[in-house]
């Protein structure tokens, strides 16, 4: 009976592989490998006695979405936001079995709770670093939204805190856990398209609007706290909530929005820590009195292995918080080599020749780390104490690409970059290096977290 039982299992396995391959458009050989890996001991949903306490800081839409994913692996016991309405909305959303998460307006008080083991950091970019550092110092493992930091220097502080306190950190660049992106990068890293020569990255264009009017601060919003380390300015609705990313004070526009995702994949496929030079320009400038980040830009980065990376915005996939498929150029990543090209985004994997990805890689091929669930991978590492797929150094190195583009674009010239020392070199280096860090408005500097 044993041979028959194995035969049925194998038949079922192959049928599942074929069905999955057809449904996803992925090659059968890759799906077989994926499902075989999934059958091995690995990620498991925690039992009732193995659910860490989770707290959300930054209760906007992205933070609540991340926390909804985290609720499958832990218990949501606290929420925190400087907007009372956002905190109340999150508390109601994550109420369970008659228990409502505790509400906080100061994340430092939340960090004092011993029953909080995991932090989900869904705040705007300018608050990422201080909260991530505070969480590490308090021995809390953290899932932190992308980009990791507001500037390059902050990344060094975050890395030091995470490593000194031996916490687990996952950057929210979830495309690392998408099989399409991993397959594309594996094919490139294994020379399937020949020597890699160019990487083209397209990101959705940002918003261009204004001028905006100041307004009274809404009841329940601590506007000074929301601004944090950034310069204090009168309240505008357009400066916060969903549109904060179009202001240099708080973010980097399209460069660090979708760019944080796609530049991470470009770097994964290139296989190096960072580029050796960068130049960039704004294509469409901001409107006076409106958003300050350019809605369209172009950048070129060269890497030590001879690869040229070009990053551009595309109007055929404009920013709406999601993906729009139109007849023009969509956002995504295209790897170009001597023997062909491979294109990938969240909805598509294609190539100059279908055989480039339909032909199996050899047994001796290099394989990238596997994660099929970005939040699940994080919680698996919370238990194992291993590094997740987008650990803190990975998040930092990919964020640096966006920060380099912004510095070159704002200063209007080409710069040389040392990815190992993380400093500018050559002509103009002194000026460029002054932009590695930003002045932090007191009291919201590093002393704010002790």
Q: What is the pLDDT of residues 257-303, one digit of tens each?
A: 999 999 999 999 999 999 999 999 999 999 999 999 999 999 999 99
Q: In this structure, is residue 206 part of a structural domain?
A: yes
Q: In this structure, is residue 424 part of a structural domain?
A: yes
Q: What tens digit of pLDDT does each residue of 392-406 get?
A: 999 999 999 999 999
Q: What was the pLDDT predicted at 314?
A: 87
Do 333 and 182 meet the contact criterion of CB atoms below 8 Å apart? Answer: no
Neighbouring CB atoms inside 10 A of 314's CB total 19
Asked if residue 7 has pLDDT above 70, the reply is no
Q: Which residues of 350-378 are buried (b: 16+ CB within 10 A; e: fewer)?
A: bbeeeebbeeebeeeeeebeebeebbbbb
- Write the CB contacts of 222 (distance below 8 Å, at least 6 apart in sequence): 82, 83, 105
pTM here is 0.91
Q: In this structure, is residue 38 part of a structural domain?
A: no
Asked if residue 40 has pLDDT above 90, the reply is no
Poorest-pLDDT segment among 43-52, 56-65, 185-194, 333-342:
43-52
Q: What was the pLDDT predicted at 179?
A: 96
Q: What is the mean pLDDT of the chain?
A: 91
d(CA 313, CA 295): 8
Q: In this structure, is residue 90 part of a structural domain?
A: no
d(CA 336, CA 329): 16
Q: What was the pLDDT predicted at 34?
A: 77
Q: What was the pLDDT predicted at 190?
A: 98
The residue assigned the tokens 């008659």 is 98
pLDDT band at 18 (very low <50, low <70, confident <90, very high): low
Question: Domain range spanning residue 217?
Answer: 178-368+393-449
Q: What tens digit of pLDDT does each residue of 202-215 get?
A: 999 999 999 999 99
Q: In this structure, is residue 195 part of a structural domain?
A: yes
pLDDT band at 323 (very low <50, low <70, confident <90, very high): very low
Tally: H helices and E strands in the chain: 14, 15
- The maximal CA–CA distance of the chain, rounded, in angstroms, is 78
Q: In this structure, is residue 349 part of a structural domain?
A: yes
Q: In this structure, is residue 419 part of a structural domain?
A: yes
CATH number for the domain including 363?
Answer: 3.30.360.10
Position with higher pLDDT, 98 vs 327: 98
Domain count, the chain: 1
Q: In this structure, is residue 283 part of a structural domain?
A: yes
Q: Where are the alpha helices (DSSP H) in 94-197?
A: 107-110, 125-137, 152-164, 179-189
Reported for 64-71, long-range contacts at CB under 8 A and 24+ positions apart, including other chains, are 64/89, 64/90, 64/93, 64/122, 65/122, 66/120, 66/122, 66/143, 66/145, 66/172, 66/375, 67/94, 67/120, 67/122, 68/93, 69/374, 69/375, 70/118, 70/120, 70/143, 70/375, 70/379
Do 299 and 310 meet the contact criterion of CB atoms below 8 Å apart? Answer: yes
Q: What was the pLDDT predicted at 379?
A: 98
């Amino acid at each position: 009976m044993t041979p028959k039982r194995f035969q049925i299992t194998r038949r079922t396995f192959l049928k599942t592989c074929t069905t999955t391959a057809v449904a996803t458009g992925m090659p059968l050989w890759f799906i077989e490998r994926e499902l075989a890996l999934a059958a091995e001991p690995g990620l498991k949903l925690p039992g009732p006695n193995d659910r860490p306490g989770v707290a959300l800081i930054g209760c906007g839409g992205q933070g609540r979405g991340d926390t909804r994913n985290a609720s499958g692996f832990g218990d949501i016991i606290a929420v925190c936001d400087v907007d009372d309405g956002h905190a109340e909305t999150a508390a109601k959303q994550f109420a369970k079995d008659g228990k409502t998460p505790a509400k906080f307006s100061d994340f430092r008080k939340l960090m004092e709770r011993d029953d909080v083991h995991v932090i989900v950091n869904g705040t705007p970019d300018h608050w990422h670093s201080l909260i991530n550092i505070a969480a590490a110092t308090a021995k809390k493992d953290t899932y932190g939204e992308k980009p990791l930091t507001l500037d390059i220097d902050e990344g060094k502080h975050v890395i030091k805190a995470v490593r000194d306190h031996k916490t687990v950190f996952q950057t929210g660049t979830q495309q690392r856990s998408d099989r399409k992106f991993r397959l594309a990068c594996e094919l490139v890293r294994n020379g399937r398209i020949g020597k890699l020569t160019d990487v083209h990255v397209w990101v959705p264009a940002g918003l261009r609007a204004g001028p905006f009017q100041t307004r009274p601060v809404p009841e329940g919003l601590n506007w000074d706290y929301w601004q944090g380390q950034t310069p204090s300015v009168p309240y505008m609705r357009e400066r916060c909530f969903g549109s904060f990313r179009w202001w240099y004070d708080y973010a980097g526009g399209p460069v660090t929005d979708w760019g944080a995702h796609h530049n991470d994949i470009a770097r994964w496929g290139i296989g190096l820590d960072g580029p050796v030079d960068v130049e960039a320009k704004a294509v469409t400038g901001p409107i006076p009195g409106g958003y300050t980040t350019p809605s369209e830009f172009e950048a070129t980065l060269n890497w030590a292995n001879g690869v040229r990376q070009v990053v551009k915005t595309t109007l055929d996939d404009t920013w709406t918080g999601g993906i729009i498929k139109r007849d023009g150029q969509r956002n995504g990543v295209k790897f170009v080599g001597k023997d062909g090209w491979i294109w990938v985004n969240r909805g598509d994997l294609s190539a100059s020749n279908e055989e480039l990805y339909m032909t199996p890689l050899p047994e001796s091929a290099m394989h990238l780390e596997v994660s099929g669930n970005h939040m699940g991978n994080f919680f698996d590492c919370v238990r194992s104490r291993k590094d997740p797929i987008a650990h803190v150094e990975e998040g930092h190195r990919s964020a640096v690409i966006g920060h380099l583009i912004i510095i070159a674009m704002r200063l209007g010239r080409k710069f040389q970059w040392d990815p190992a020392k993380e400093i500018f070199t050559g002509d103009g280096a002194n000026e460029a290096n002054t932009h590695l860090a930003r002045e932090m408005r007191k009291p919201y500097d590093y002393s704010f977290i002790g």
